[in-house]
Structure formats: C-alpha cells, structure tokens
Structure 1
Amino acid sequence: MPEHRNFTPDKTLAIDWVDDHAARLSQDHMTIWNFHEPSWREYKSAAWYVERLKAEGFAVETGSGDMPTAFVAEWSNGDGPTIGGYAEYDAIPGTSQAPVPRRQPREGVSRHAAGHTDPHSALGLGSFAGFLAAKHVMRTRGIKGRLKFFGEPAEKMCGSKPIHAAKGYYDDLDAAISFHPHSFPRLANSCFWDTHSAPYWSRIYTFECNSPETWQNAGAIAGVAHSHSAARAPGAIDAVCLMYTSSKYMKEAMLPHHGSWSLNEFILHAGQAAADNLAPGLGQIQYSLRAPTLDMCRRVFEVLDRNAEHCAAMTHCKVTGSWITRTRAGLPNHAMAEVTWRNFEAIGAPQWSDEARAFGREIQTSLGVVPMEDPFAPEIQHLTAPWDGEKAFREQLPSWQTNLAADDYVDYTWHAPTVRLYVGRPTLRAPDPGYRYPDWTRHAMGGVPVCIDPMWLTASKVIATTILDLLTDGVSLDKAQAEFRERTGGGIGGSRWVAPLLPREFAPPVHYRWPEYVSTVRGEEWTIPTAAP
C-alpha cells in the first residue's frame, strides 16, 4: 500500500486483514468456482457459505424465503446500523470451460454443463471477504453495528432477491452494498450514478392436454377401426411450438424497437409421449424480458398471455402462467456512490502480475493474435469516476431511458440506500478496434487465481472500508438515508416508493425442470431432470 494514501487506522486494519488472508481466500474462491452449480441447484455452494459463516460467528437462517439454496447470516457487535450485502454463486448452463488458454470444457462434464461467466464465484468471495474484514475491525475496535449477509441464488434468473424483498428480509437494512465484476468497459472500475439496472420479468407457460379423447367426437370406434387411425389432439408439443413461433412473429408489435429491450425463450419441457398416436400431455416454455420500464414489461406480457390462451385453444390444452421473477428498476443513491468511490480512489484499480499477463498472452497465441506485452485492456487498470461513467451511458441512451440491462440487486435499492460497485475483471486487449475475443477467454481467466484474484480482492477492500465509513464517520449514512427518503417520498411505503412486484406468499420456482448435476451409478452427470410442472 503506497504510504501517501492516508487511511484511518480502522481502514488500514481492514485492508491488512484482506492481504493477510488473501491466500486462504483465493483457495475459497476456487472451491466455489469448481462447484459451478446452476440456478436453483447451488446446493454445495450454499452449504459451503453457511458452514464458513457459522464458523465466523454469524447466526445463519438456511433456506430463507423458502429457497433451499438461499440463506441469511447476521452478526452483531451491539446496537448500531445494519449494513447488508450478499454472495451469488450460480453458474450458467452451456459455458463449461477449463482454466486453460484454449477452448476446452471442464474435465469430466459435458460441454453443455454450467460454468462461471461473470463470474459469480468471484462476486461472492469479494463481498464475503469485505464483510469478514469489516467484522474483524468492528470486533477489534469495538465498533457497534450489525452485518447482514445474504446468500442469493439464481441471479441469472433474477431469482432470489425479489423473493427476499417481498418477504421482508431487507426492511431492516440501513444501507446495502452490491458488487459486480465489470460489465461495461467504460465503467470498469466505478459505481453506478443515475443509470441503474432495468426491470427483468420472467414467466413460465405450462400447457397440458388432459382430455385428448374429447378433441373430436365423431362417434364411437367400432368394427376394425383402431384408435391409431383416429385424429389425435394436437397436444402440448404443438402448443409450445405455436407459442414459440407466434410470439416470434408478434415481437415486432410488442414494443417499438428502441430502449434496449430483449425477450428470450427457454423450453423446459416438450413431450412426455411415446412415438405413438398419443397426444403429448405436457409442455413448458419460459419467457424472460429485459426492458427499461415497468410499463414496457406489462405490455409485453399482456401479449404473451393472450398468445398463450390462443395457442392452448388451438391445441386442445389448458395453459397456466406462473411468474418466475418480477424485478423493479434500480433506484440511484449518490451519497452511497460517493462514499464508496472515495474508498475506491484511495485503494486504486486492480493490478495484474507478470504471471497473469503471461497467461493472457497464451490465450492470444492460441487464437492467432500476436501476443502483447500487456495483454489486458486499459479500461480495467484505471478508475472512472461515477459521473464520468454516467456520461458514457448518456451518450448511447435516449434521454427518457434511465435504466439499462438487468440484475436483481435492484430490489435492494427500494429498501435501503444501495451502491452498485463495479470492479474490473480480467479482460484482454483487442488487437484491432473491431476484434472481439470469444467468451471462453473470460471464463477461463475466472478460474486462474493470478488473473481473477486482483479483481475480487480489490472489491473486498472497497467494501470493507465503505462499511466502516457508514458505521463510524457520522455523515455518510445519514446523507444516504436522507437521499433515500427524498427519492422514495418518505422511505419504505412513501409516495414514490415502488413495492415488491411479487406477493409475500410467493412460492419460489425451485420445482421446475432446471438443469443440474445428479449422481447416478455412472457417476456425476449433467442432466435436465424430469419433474412435475
């Protein structure tokens, strides 16, 4: 740490704690990275965090919000503010990648299995380490306050945070810190200012053909006639296919083509019938929408609901629509961004070693790119002030659009003043302006400690020092809460406050046919299991 950077003794103690425990924490990160469990199926990852948090003295509620792989951990050092944060640990199907400088799935699993992309393994460890460092200082210095650390599964479906919010888990927070590896090159080491993440809504349509015999009643079958020669009901496969195609055709008419919105599909189930003249009985399709405003979300799902009813009628099915998630749009808090940014400025951007650069050059060589002395992008190696990052957003967005992309951290922002911290993750420098590296390059570096550790270790120091400011400086937290009350028209329940979009009694969608790893007599396998709708 450069001597000219003036940290308080408390902050110095926190930073020293991270440095002293970096080797152990690096091993911890690789543990989560090697689990690479997908959404709603992060059993090993959640259990690891629960065990570690209990060992650190936290009281832990497992299965919080009726989500088997979620948790809430609390540690108190006496009456004082409550600061919230979280770990994510879900991986993404179809991104299996070994930590090697070439495209190669992880050993022993399918190419289509899950892998950490952002990576959430590092996101979780960065936040976890920051909270542990703050806890160490609080206990050592006698600083009063409470830390509330969440395990948030299924972020790639924006899954758990809207549920925790709806069930009241965030209502007692005084402030919250959300950390993510950088997603925007112009905002690689910074904080969101005004333009926060947009809403994300997802819904599953289940088609069931329960009475195929009533499709046509042309009289009883008699004589030599056979049921295989009778017209069968179209059934659930046809329903899913019609829903898929009709909604593709309707996409042009759902919303105008501006505002950076996207609609994606996932077919969970199509079939449950033999190659026979039997009507397929069950089909499911999921739609996930990112759109800048809640009104745009409502308009799209009005069309999808209508399409589903018509497709069900045409195929002799009944249809049920069930929400997977509904998030709000992110609420800014400049005061939280300012206190976090001050600490980021003092700590500095992450820096990469010669060993990390050597791995980057190996990747470039494998792709036929002339290896560079410094293969890492310049954006990830310097800081960008939040207001300068905001200018970059405004250069590419229409004036009316105040939210972009999607992430479920936004549900924290409506219950406590929240900062969205970005730290630069290892990203390779392009040899030419139009060149784009394949995604596996980032995924591979996420499993190489010398490449990924500088990012989340930097984040942990920023998080720890920001927690200490919120608890001790007597200004930052009050300013953030005053701004929160102003923006919401009075805080939770205020005149401009947006309530959770899921009901308090919402049942988490853990029972669907999500991809997962299973143990069989053949060993551990990647599969999409059969389950009830």
Structure 2
Amino acid sequence: MPRNSDLTPDKALAVKWINDNVAQLSRDHMTIWNLHEPSWREYKSSAWYVERLRAEGFDVEAGSGEMPTAFAAVWSNGDGPTIGGYAEYDAVPGASQDPVPRRQPRVGVNRHAAGHTDPHSALGMGSFTGFLAAKHVMERHGIKGRLKFFGEPAEKMCGSKPVHAAKGYYNDLDAAISFHPHSFPRLANSCFWDTHSAPYWSRIYTFECDNPETWQNAGAVTGVAHGHSAARAPGAIDAVCLMYTSSKYMKESMLPHHGSWSLNEFILHAGQAAADNIAPGLAQIQYSLRAPTLDMCARVFEVLDRNAEHCAAMTHSKVTANWITRTRAGLANHAMAEVTWRNFEAIGAPQWDEKARSFAREIQASLDIPPMEDPFTPEIQHLTAPWDGEKAFREQLPSWQTNLAADDYVDYTWHAPTVRLYVGRPTLRAPNPGYRYPEWTRHAMGGVPACIDPMWLTAGKVIATTILDLLSDGVSLDKAKSEFRERTGGGIGGTSWIAPLLPADFAPPVHYRWPEYVTTVRGQEWTIPTAAP
C-alpha cells in the first residue's frame, strides 16, 4: 500500500482514482487478454484502445505510421510539457493457455495459437491506467501539459517503435515512460540504471524461382515429353533449406564467443506446389538478431546477406532482402530513473492476496510440488534500487558490454529522456535450486485477475505519480532534459545522437504472411485449422 505521507495531494488523488476504478480496469485487462492477437494482426485490441481513448477525450490517429494496428493519441490541458507512454497488446504464437492451474491450451482455438506471455495485455493496461489517472488529476487541479499515448503493435518483433521514431512521432516528447513486467529476477521492482536493452535487427529473405524451365535443357529428356519428368530447377524451397543450414553451420563464425547474443529464424513460406511435381516458386525466411552493439549486428547481417546470394545462385532463384526492424541500443537517463524510483518507494511493491496464493498453490499441486504457504518468489514482493540492480547486471556481463537483451522501447530513449520501469509479475517460488517451472504457469497466471492485477495496478500508480512530478515539481523534468542533451551532445541531431536506423519512408512490414486468426466458412480459425489434433 502507498505510504500516503510520502504522496503529495495530487499524487494521492491519482492513487485514489486508480483504487476507485479497479473493477472496471480489471475487466478491461481481461478484454485484451482474451483477444490474444499476434504481432501486426492486433486488429480488435488496437480498435478497443482507440475507441476507449476517444471516449476519454483523446484525439486519436488510428493506423499511425502506416501501421494498421498502431495509434497515436494526444490529450492536452493547455501549454506545457508533453509526456509520452504506450500500450502493447501483441500475443505470442504457440503460447495458448487457459487461465487454469494445469496445462490447457485455450478452448476453441488451435493449441498452437497465440497467447499473452509477458503479458503485454497487462503491460498496456498498466501504462493506460497511469495515463488516465494523471489525466484525471490534471483536469481536477488545472495542471498544464500534454499526454501522448501510443499503441505499439508487434513488440515481439520490435516492430512499431522504430517506425514511429523514423517517421517523427517522438520528436515532440519532453519525456517518456516505458513499463514492462519484470524480466530479470534481481531487478523485479526497479528501473534500469545504466545497462539498457540492446539492439534488435530482423530481416526477411525472399527467394523466388521465376523461370524453372531454364535450369537445364528439358529437350534432353528422351521418350515422351512430360513436364513432371523433365529436369527442373531446385527452386525456392531448396534455397531456404540451404540458407537455413548454411547459416546454422556458420553461426560460430559470425561473432566472437563472448557477449550475450542470439540469432533466431522463422520460415514464413515454403513454396506453393501442394503435392505436385513442379519447382517451388516462393519461399521466405526471417532472421532476428539480439546483439550488444550495432557493429555486431552489422557483421552478422553481412554474413547472412552473402549466404542468401549464394543460396539463390545454387538453386536457380533470385533473392531480395527487406528489413523488418532495426533498433538502436538504449540510452540511459539517471534523472528519469531517480524520479520514478522515488515514486515507486512511496507506492511500494505489489502484494498478492490469499486468492492469488491459492491459485498458485493449485499450480504447484498439479506439478506434484508440495504447495507452499507463500508460493511466490521474494524478489517480486520487495523493491530493488536501480543502482543495486545495476550491480547485479554487471556481475554477469563483461566490462565492455553496456547493453543486454532487446526491446524496441530503446527508440524512445533517443528522442526524449526515458525511464524503463519494471514491476514484479507473479512468479512461483522454486521447490529446489535449479528447478524451472513450465512456461504455461506464467501464462495461466496472466489471465487470473487476482494474480496479475497487483502488478499492473502498481505500475499504473508509479506511472501516474511520475507524470505528475514531471509536469509540476519544477525540477525533475528539467534535470532529465539536461542529462538527455548531455548524453546526446545537444539533443536530437546532436554530436552523440544516433538517428533512427530505418528511413522516414520505410514501409512497415504488415503485408507478410504473419501468423493470425482468419475467418472462413468454418468460422474463426488460427492459420492452422482449429480442428487440428
């Protein structure tokens, strides 16, 4: 519970507004959680936010940045600073889970369909709650300023924020707040200090075999001529197979054997020759890289580009390469972390009641783990100062590595002083050292209000009170902006500033065959038919 003596009247009013509206906000969260739409296909989720924001008096641009499921919403209470924040709402394919204490994919959709993992449903609701509470206080007490709230689709691909940044949507922000359910156990309730998220680059390679008949001379076939028996090009499937295997073999040669980096691939297309003996004409593979530095990213994609050209040549195909995203490394701002941390201290860590603990014990019992009196980890129930969390990071990283993991919030950090806030999400206590719970346990708790609401409600209170400080205390925002100018060598366009890595005319990658729900004569289905075993 908040230590009310540490809250100004404005902040206390923001916290009261949230407490008074818990029931409706909880239902709102479940609305998004139950939609569980994947990246670039969050049509219903984004439409819900657009409608709700307009009802709250925001001026909303739907489809901002040429992204159909993005939006940019603005509310003004007169001349004053502009504070930015955002909702995410994309779910993850293959993570379907009902809110029950056992492994059970959602009823009514394919077991490989999408589900909220982090969950982004709660991420978005926490930020949304904070901005609505701050707006309420601004109206009541005449606090001047402007709130700019974004809908950011496809975070799991680091998709929308680099596009918004490249197209100038963040250039008018004075500060920004980025919230995420905790990802690092030793930084469960805290803010990033120096070590922010690393770059994330992703590219699709499209292989096409347009003229398979020119691979060899079909007239060399003796006997009765028949297209199915004539020599034909290996085609696009072989190109993707070669790309996949050759790049796997060369992973160890792409970068040094140190520093945390990972390279993943996803095959979108594998030909259209359904049970017929013709050369596959189209295949696509996507590569996504997390690496600590921009230079490391560039080196990996030099290898991948070269591999793609050779694989295309070997299979009588052509290849085109198109960026999906390119993010920068996160830029720290201690002043933003400090003001947010002060409010987090006043609000306190999230707490879970007996209803949440009972559900967690049911999960433990289903896994043959003796139910615990307190089934949640201690880390999510107390605060960790940003500088103490930084020490924990540095213990596991080489001295040269200044960024870790990946998230596209980093593009905000180059356009305005930005804080990265983490709040503890429900996490089960291990029965013994080294034990790891199945992922479905986290996903299930994300759909149980008693388990997930304390996390995003706490975030909303921290965000609202921080917005109010930035707008009215006369110190925090000036300090943050001064530090931003110093770190960038003069602000946007400064000598140390890194510009967006996508061009301003970048066409968002919404047209690819991403996993999604579709409506057919059989009803709504995942891209794999619902009736599949």
Question: Given the two structures, how large is their TM-score scaled by the length of structure 1?
Answer: 0.98
8 Å Cα contact 2:65/2:163 also seen in 1: yes
8 Å Cα contact 2:64/2:71 also seen in 1: yes
Structure-2 residue corresponding to 1:322: 322
CA shift, 1:3, in A, is 5.7
Question: Can you list the C-alpha shifts for 1:58-83, whole angstroms capped at 9, x where unaligned?
Answer: 00000000000000000000000000
CA shift, 1:201, in A, is 0.2
Work out the CA distance in 1 between the residues paired with 2:228 and 2:114: 42
CA shift, 1:6, in A, is 2.3
Structure-1 residue corresponding to 2:511: 511
CA shift, 1:510, in A, is 0.4
**1:75 counterpart SS class:** strand
Structure-2 residue corresponding to 1:385: 385
Distance 1:371 1:280, change over 3 A: same
Question: Can you list the C-alpha shifts for 1:226-283, whole angstroms capped at 9, x where unaligned?
Answer: 2322211000000000000000001010001211100000000001113333110000
Work out the CA distance in 2 between the residues paired with 1:218 and 1:521: 42
Alignment of 1:65-464 (within 5 A): 65-217=65-217, 219=219, 224-464=224-464
Question: Can you list the C-alpha shifts for 1:106-134, whole angstroms capped at 9, x where unaligned?
Answer: 11011100000000000000000000000
Letter in 2 for 1:444: A
8 Å Cα contact 1:166/1:502 also seen in 2: yes
Distance 1:342 1:225, change over 3 A: same
**1:307 counterpart SS class:** helix
CA shift, 1:464, in A, is 0.1
Letter in 2 for 1:257: H
Structure-2 residue corresponding to 1:38: 38
8 Å Cα contact 1:209/1:280 also seen in 2: yes
CA shift, 1:220, in A, is 6.5
The more displaced of 275-284 and 476-485 is: 275-284
Question: Can you list the C-alpha shifts for 1:265-309, whole angstroms capped at 9, x where unaligned?
Answer: 000000111333311000000000000000000000000000000
RMSD: 1.1
Alignment of 1:476-515 (within 5 A): 476-515=476-515
CA shift, 1:222, in A, is 7.3
Structure-2 residue corresponding to 1:24: 24
8 Å Cα contact 1:127/1:459 also seen in 2: yes
Work out the CA distance in 1 between the residues paired with 2:214 and 2:288: 34
Question: Given the two structures, how large is their TM-score scaled by the length of structure 2?
Answer: 0.98
Paired-residue identity, %: 87
**1:495 counterpart SS class:** coil
Structure-1 residue corresponding to 2:470: 470
**1:482 counterpart SS class:** helix
Letter in 1 for 2:56: E
**2:6 counterpart SS class:** coil
Work out the CA distance in 2 between the residues paired with 1:218 and 1:74: 63
**1:150 counterpart SS class:** strand
8 Å Cα contact 1:232/1:277 also seen in 2: no
Work out the CA distance in 1 between the residues paired with 2:2 and 2:504: 49
Letter in 2 for 1:492: I
CA shift, 1:521, in A, is 1.8
Work out the CA distance in 1 between the residues paired with 2:425 and 2:146: 30
8 Å Cα contact 1:37/1:114 also seen in 2: yes
**1:292 counterpart SS class:** coil
Question: Can you list the C-alpha shifts for 1:471-506, whole angstroms capped at 9, x where unaligned?
Answer: 000000000000000000000000010000000000
Distance 1:405 1:135, change over 3 A: same
Work out the CA distance in 1 between the residues paired with 2:471 and 2:61: 24
Work out the CA distance in 1 between the residues paired with 2:103 and 2:496: 49
Letter in 2 for 1:84: G
Question: Can you list the C-alpha shifts for 1:40-61, whole angstroms capped at 9, x where unaligned?
Answer: 0000000000000000000000
**2:469 counterpart SS class:** helix
Give unmatched runs, 5+ long, in structure 2: none
Give unmatched runs, 5+ long, in structure 1: none
Letter in 2 for 1:178: S
Work out the CA distance in 2 between the residues paired with 1:402 and 1:503: 26
**2:16 counterpart SS class:** helix
Letter in 1 for 2:60: V
Distance 1:3 1:488, change over 3 A: closer
